[in-house]
Chains A and B, each alone.
Chain A
């Protein structure tokens, strides 16, 4: 409760006290945007943790060995994640549903256990120290990126591309009969998702002093998936709400912090049973909007129809 009281009565103090939490919420919100893009095009891909790792390691390795400025390192990290996303997508996107999910999980684990733990330049199992880490400065690009990315992806769903994604999600066969090049548009979604995940990984290294390979395992990917499931995927706000809610929750109920995963699991089950469309349903914040508001909207619409 103190958490909320402080949030409203003393926002500046709240910000100073919870800076790392806010940064983490921002990172998770960006990851939620990343998984939203693939979900919106109807693909259950769980490779986000892998692309994060690529973004993070690339950024840190570049700041260790190259004189390039940090923003360039981060950009290269995100672009490399996108490029590898393209290569991974070539074979993997022929799969659908659960098979796609398993293949992408396979990619995450193969990257971590096969590549990161065996390449000397990544510090192998030891991880890497990040020379350019700046926890307090790192929060600024995060706080700027979240609204910009949200806006971009929200507008993207209204473009020709976004419309094709929605059609593919609803019915691939019908989409191709409408002239939509299904494999190509799926690939675009997968690459954009990889780009955003890689960017989130690069941002995260900026607030941590250390890149730790265990951060980028399947557990992380599943955590990102829960953002999308709990928040809902009919629009970009859904996964972000899920990310904010699930990241802040252990702070709100401190007494349960030790049982964080248990609480997350219970929330996930409750959402799947009672609100399968997620907290944010079709047409915005359905559950948060008061009932008179929805009633008023329906009446408005009915009036407009006549």
Chain B
């Protein structure tokens, strides 16, 4: 087997952030190559670099000796693709526009679905055949049957492609793409990518938001396509899928490649475990399951009872985005004075749970009570005035306003201006990072400083319960420490906290109790200390 795609020292930064930092990867022809990494690791940026949507600042991306396109079974061999360098030596892809990269036989799907929503399923696939369609303006101007033979052949081929990804062309062919179910839309996107007749198919999170049965079908489809001779580059958060289907895996973290090898090696790599579970992982990983300490932990699990009279009570909560069910019946509680953590891999539904508590999303069904307040129906402003405050994922500070102005907005709902003013000054003292930068535009703060600002802004609304969504997202390790110190501090000041984190071990360290969320369900629960030693947690993240 020879290499098909070769990335050498590829660099791309946005502002000061190294999204892709000196990455070199080689994808062999005929393989299924997995690209994994935590949220914000640079996976999608890497795909965008390969497919021409983003230009690298340095480094090279080479497509090596692509063979002539394989002709499809059951159809006449398609007309040759437009574009140079189809056959022959290495072709440099960097700095080529996306349509030219597609012309080289590299097809992709998108992390967020990008179908032609108002076109039918068949029209979507037909549009994907653009490069294989000859210019037919004259034939179409005089639409007599003899001139439209090519047209009929293309329709037939589009129907075959739909069937190939498991969509019945009779049933779904003439349906508008937007009306298909979520899983079918994902499949349709694969069919459209296949219409290019590619050498390399890049699938960007094809199984995101799918239930286990749908994921199995995606897995079968990927394997089938690979058996038909297609090289696949798969990006996904679902470790079970990636570990199960890929022959080779590269792991990215903070834009750097931290591991590269067959799945079995990668999943045991200490650097990978650290990247996924947080900086404390190696210490814990050293504990052999079943050791003494493990047993101690196991007994302590029993101690952590659910609170009897919780401040926040959630029962059988279900939340959907259109056809996707993100939260499938979740129950938990938070007692006054606790720190409770919801942990789990990206896409598990953690943020959705928080958003449905703060009134940003409306749950499908279930109970969510905060004291006397029914969170499933109360308007967001009422939820805030009752003392349930959310610090959203990605911080959502107002970049052009100064630190001070951001804090003043946090006190918006308060009637007593003088006490709000006093609190702002108090926070500036408490968090000198903010006090020193009070007149700087918030956008100039570092990510961690912005996070502290966002938390301080939340505190000004005088929360009884603070919802923190991924406070460590995208932060460098020392900054993560600072942010967690801040969280501990405000908890000691008497604020109850519900924390959502990808960085599981850090969250478990400060949490009284925690719940492990996987694909919209609660998989495990227990005290922070107990879960930290539970091998199941590692499994939930790495697919063990």
List A residues at the B interface (Cβ < 8 Å). Answer: 152, 155-156, 158-161, 163-164, 166-167, 170-171, 173-182, 282, 301, 305-306
Contacts and interface: CB of A to CB of B under 8 A. Distances in A.
Given A163-B130, A167-B130, A305-B171, A176 B110 contact: no
A176 B123 contact: no
B99 A167 contact: no
Given A167-B130, A170-B118, A177 B136 contact: no
Contacts of B128: 178
A280 to B, nearest CB: 15
A174 B143 contact: no
B102 interface: yes
Given A155-B141, A171-B115, A178 B195 contact: yes
B99 to A, nearest CB: 5
A176 B115 contact: no
22 contacts: A158-B143, A159-B135, A160-B133, A160-B134, A161-B137, A163-B130, A167-B116, A167-B127, A170-B115, A170-B116, A171-B116, A174-B192, A176-B52, A177-B51, A178-B99, A178-B102, A178-B192, A179-B83, A179-B130, A179-B131, A181-B97, A305-B170
Interface in B97-115: 97-99, 102-103, 107-108, 110, 114-115
Contact of B102 (A170, A177, A305): A177
A179 B196 CA distance: 8
> Sorted from nearest, which 4 A-B pairs have the closest CB atoms?
A170-B116, A179-B102, A176-B98, A179-B131
B119 interface: yes
B9 to A, nearest CB: 25
Interface in B72-109: 81-83, 97-99, 102-103, 107-108
Contact of A155 (B115, B140, B192): B140
Interface centre among A166, A171, A173, A177 (most CB of B within 10 A): A177
Contacts of B119: 166-167, 170
B130 A178 contact: yes
Contacts of B135: 159-161
B287 interface: no
Contacts of B192: 174, 178
Interface in B171-185: 171, 174
B114 A159 contact: no
B140 A175 contact: no
Contact of B108 (A152, A177, A181): A177
B137 to A, nearest CB: 5
B99 A182 contact: yes
B130 A173 contact: no
B136 A160 contact: yes
B126 interface: yes
B116 A177 contact: no
B53 interface: yes
B232 to A, nearest CB: 16
A155 B99 contact: no
Contacts of B133: 160, 163
Nearest to B81: A179
B382 interface: no
Nearest to B109: A177
Interface centre among B53, B117, B118 (most CB of A within 10 A): B118
A305 B134 CA distance: 29
Interface in B146-189: 170-171, 174
A176 B97 contact: yes
Contacts of A179: 81-83, 99, 102-103, 130-131, 196
A158 B140 contact: yes
From DSSP, what is the main secondary structure of chain A's interface residues? helix
A234 to B, nearest CB: 8
A161 B137 CA distance: 8
Contacts of A155: 140-141, 143
A173 B53 contact: yes
Contact of A159 (B98, B108, B137, B170): B137
Given A177-B193, A178-B192, 13 more contacts: A156-B140, A159-B136, A160-B137, A163-B130, A167-B130, A170-B115, A171-B114, A174-B116, A174-B192, A177-B102, A178-B102, A178-B131, A179-B102
A232 to B, nearest CB: 12
A181 B99 contact: yes
Contacts of A170: 115-119
Given A152-B141, A179-B196, A160 B127 contact: no
Contacts of B102: 176-179
Given A167-B116, A170-B117, A171-B115, A180 B137 contact: no
B171 A166 contact: no
A305 B137 CA distance: 30
Contacts of B193: 177
A233 to B, nearest CB: 11
B116 A173 contact: no
B171 A175 contact: no
B107 A177 contact: yes
Nearest to B202: A177
Contacts of B196: 178-179
A170 B192 CA distance: 14
A161 B140 CA distance: 11
Contacts of A175: 127
A167 B196 CA distance: 14
Contacts of A182: 99
Contacts of A180: 99, 127, 130
Contacts of A167: 116, 119, 127, 130
A158 B147 CA distance: 13
Contacts of B140: 155-156, 158-159
Given A158-B143, A173-B110, A174-B110, A166 B99 contact: no
A301 to B, nearest CB: 7
B195 to A, nearest CB: 7
Interface string B29-60: 00000000000000000000001110000000
A254 B211 CA distance: 62
Contacts of A164: 127, 130
Contacts of B136: 159-160
Contacts of A171: 114-117
B127 A156 contact: no
B137 A166 contact: no
